[in-house]
Amino acid sequence: MTVPFSYNIRNLVVRKTTTVMTAFGIALSVAILVASLALVNGLRTVFANTSNPLQLLVLRKGGNSELGSTVSIEDFAIVRSKAGIAVDRSGQPLTSQELVNVVNLPSLDNPKGMNVTVRGLSPVGIEMRKVRLVAGRWFQPGQREVVVGKAMAHRYPSARIAHRIRFGKGDWEIVGVMDGGQSALNSEMWGDFNQISADYNQQDSSSSVLIRATDPVSLDALKHSIEDDPRLNASTMTESDYYQSQTASGAPLEFLGIFVAVIMAIGSGFATTNIMYAAVARRGKEIGTLKALGFSEGSILLSFLSESVLLAALGGVLGCLIALPLNWVTTGVGSMVSFSEIAFRFHVGIAALSSGLIFAVVLGAAGGALPARAAAKKEILIALREA
Amino acid sequence: MDIVIETRKLSKDYMRDENPVAALKDVDLQVACGEFLALMGPSGSGKSTLLHLIAAMDRASNGEVLVLGQDLRALNNRQLARWRNAHIGFVFQAFNLIPVLTALENVMLPLKLTGLDAKEQLEHATTALELVGLRDRLHHFPRQLSGGQEQRVAIARAIVTDPDFILADEPTGNLDAASANDVLTLLAALNNGYGKTILMVTHDPHAAHYAKSTRYLEKGVLLPEGQAPQDWMANSTSAPLPSRWVALSETRPGPQ
């Protein structure tokens, strides 16, 4: 049997100032770790929600970004004629020729301007995505009109309905706001494919072609058919893979967050060790008494280790609570693929919180191991003579 | 007559500043079942050392400690810990209660190592506290108790497992005269009423009067029965220690 847990809890309560200070130090490490994980989770959620598993993105051969890709009108025609492509209600194949570019807009976070994605597409391109209009109306063909994503409208003061943005060969009016759920589409600005192509003098090509297969088997066949077609200078990526590759944009931030959390954790670990050594030194007589009553070295070790873990777990819970409000925070990162900003909400999920708590518990166990061992190894008589 | 505690040629040497110091020299002691033995002697005579060796809190340099027929040298640390819990009730001079636990929780501590369930532990601890007259102090923390009450809680903790014998190390050393009398009366009652074997270390002759017999140690040597160190006895009185301290302080010159 072990020393009652109430002994450890009450000792933490008795020295509440040091308990709170140590727990707070651990809480900061945990909060940073959880925030880093929540950032990547948020990005992952955004990109996962952007893609349809049956959709294939056709790019220039060797291309991995829409921005640097060119697909000719002739290639589009060949792709469109392939078997296995799903059709809409009117029997037209679900293929969308799209032109992607970036424009610089001043944002709330960066008044000097950030790149945002402008996508030229036709109505079928809208139909192929899960978006809905939440304000205003859709752009008209042949007009310099754009619809902006919800996150963009929120983060860029100049991207509001009725505002005008200058790019291409003139001013473009914002006529609507669309909501693509938790997806990267909320960070884009959409306009008529032909009008945008004309403004960028790219009438004979597009950046990419989005196609939807009828089923997963057709998707695979379609992929091989396009890539193996000697007439085409094209490669393909599933829409999921394309956006998945953009999740890497958060990797430097994730690395930085985890790095800072680990550095802070080392400091917190030493603080925990120090606090627990002080507790062991101060409670020498109690340790001697417990041993005299018959508690074994193992029981004493477990008791002090539990106390350290409990202290760290307290910090872990506090850290999770500090990080929890991030769930309502929207931020943006520059995508290394689209060279534009992707807005997303931090996602503090069960996995991030569990990781934070496990991190704290490991920290407590590591920090408390040596002091707990020192407590267990104390000679009874020496311990009893301590103050 | 059953022998509960027996020491044979028991010796304990310490190193002090690289010089060996003999704390105990060839001590042969027998304590019979139901006995209340006071172990007396001046400071540094080896009383507490002997008690610690019998309680398996320390290892002897030479000789044997047989408790209930068990040679303590044969047990490892883990076995000794179990053995202490099962057979000994220890009363400390400074009470040694855990300050963050209530009187009841302190008394329940040794029971955590027994096979009793939580309800039985509670019943046993409550009974022990009732026995020492602290039924109304179950949920008090040590800081909320007087010194005498703390020592009575410590005695309840010592008897709660119904040990084979009680070892008391200067149990009245930190108490006023009235509290000391209460505690000694309680120990005597445990011996007389419940047949508990008690070995009490004290250098207070008044405390020793409560015991059935007294043995003396001088410079690590156990004196023969009936023999006491003459120099020390001449300076000792039968009054309780605190009274003697008062008397002593009255004879000293005060601040000028």
For B110-162, write each residue's pLDDT tens digit.
999 998 999 999 999 999 999 999 999 999 999 999 999 999 999 999 999 99
pLDDT of residue B243: 41
In chain A, which among 286-315 make CB contacts under 8 A with chain B? Answer: 286, 288-298
Structure tokens at A218: 């057709």
Tens digit of each residue's pLDDT, chain B (256 residues): 589 999 999 999 988 888 888 999 999 999 999 999 999 988 889 999 999 999 999 989 999 999 988 898 888 988 999 999 999 999 999 999 999 999 999 999 999 999 899 999 999 999 999 999 999 999 999 999 999 999 999 999 999 999 999 999 999 988 888 889 989 999 999 999 989 999 999 988 889 999 999 999 999 999 998 887 776 666 665 444 344 333 333 333 333 2
Summarize pLDDT for A213-228 with one digit per residue, the tens. 999 999 999 999 999 9
Which of A204-218, A282-296, A306-320, B240-254 is the least confident region?
B240-254
Structure tokens at A38: 């929540």
Tell how strand B213-218 and strand B36-40 pair up: parallel
The Cα–Cα gap between B134 and B111 comes to 18
The Cα–Cα gap between B202 and A310 comes to 42
B226 phi-psi bin (left φ>0, alpha ψ -120 to 50, beta other) = left
CB contact under 8 A, B55 and A291: no
Summarize pLDDT for A48-104 with one digit per residue, the tens. 777 788 999 999 988 778 888 899 999 999 999 999 999 988 889 999 999 999 998
CB of A382 within 8 Å of any CB in chain B?
no
CB contact under 8 A, A4 and B92: no
The Cα–Cα gap between B239 and B248 comes to 12
Per CB-CB distance under 8 Å, the chain B contacts of A293 are 84-85, 90, 109-110, 113, 157
CA distance A248 to chain B (A): 52
pLDDT of residue A161: 92
CB of B98 within 8 Å of any CB in chain A?
yes
Nearest to B241 by CA among B168, B180, B152: B180
The Cα–Cα gap between B205 and A169 comes to 111
Nearest to B130 by CA among B97, B111, B107, B100: B107
CB contact under 8 A, A296 and B82: yes
CB contact under 8 A, B81 and A285: no
Q: Nearest chain B Cα to A385, which residue?
A: B94
Per CB-CB distance under 8 Å, the chain B contacts of A286 are 96, 98-99
CB pairs < 8 Å spanning A and B: 74
Q: What is the ipTM of this complex?
A: 0.87
DSSP A161: T
CA distance A318 to chain B (A): 25
CB contact under 8 A, A14 and B90: no
Name the residue among B77, B94, B112 with its Cβ closest to that of A1.
B112
Per CB-CB distance under 8 Å, the chain B contacts of A285 are 94, 96
Summarize pLDDT for A220-264 with one digit per residue, the tens. 999 999 999 999 988 999 888 887 777 666 677 778 878 888 888
Structure tokens at B58: 């320390």
Q: Nearest chain A Cα to B86, which residue?
A: A294
Mean pLDDT of A11-22: 90
CA distance A324 to chain B (A): 34
A244: helix, coil or strand?
helix
CB contact under 8 A, A10 and B110: no
Question: A170 forms bridges with which residues in the sheet?
Answer: A167
Summarize pLDDT for A106-148 with one digit per residue, the tens. 777 777 888 889 999 999 999 999 889 999 999 999 999 999 9
Mutate to test the interface with B, among A14, A289, A300, A310 (most CBs of B within 10 A): A289
Q: What is the mean pLDDT of chain A?
A: 89
Q: Nearest chain B Cα to A12, which residue?
A: B100
Helices (H), chain A: 5-14, 16-50, 73-80, 123-127, 150-155, 193-199, 216-228, 239-246, 251-282, 284-293, 297-323, 350-377, 380-385
Q: What is the mean pLDDT of chain B?
A: 87
* CB within 8 Å of B68: residues ≥ 6 apart: B4, B87, B164
Phi–psi pair at A178, nearest 5 degrees: -115, 155
pLDDT of residue A194: 94
Q: Nearest chain A Cα to B161, which residue?
A: A293
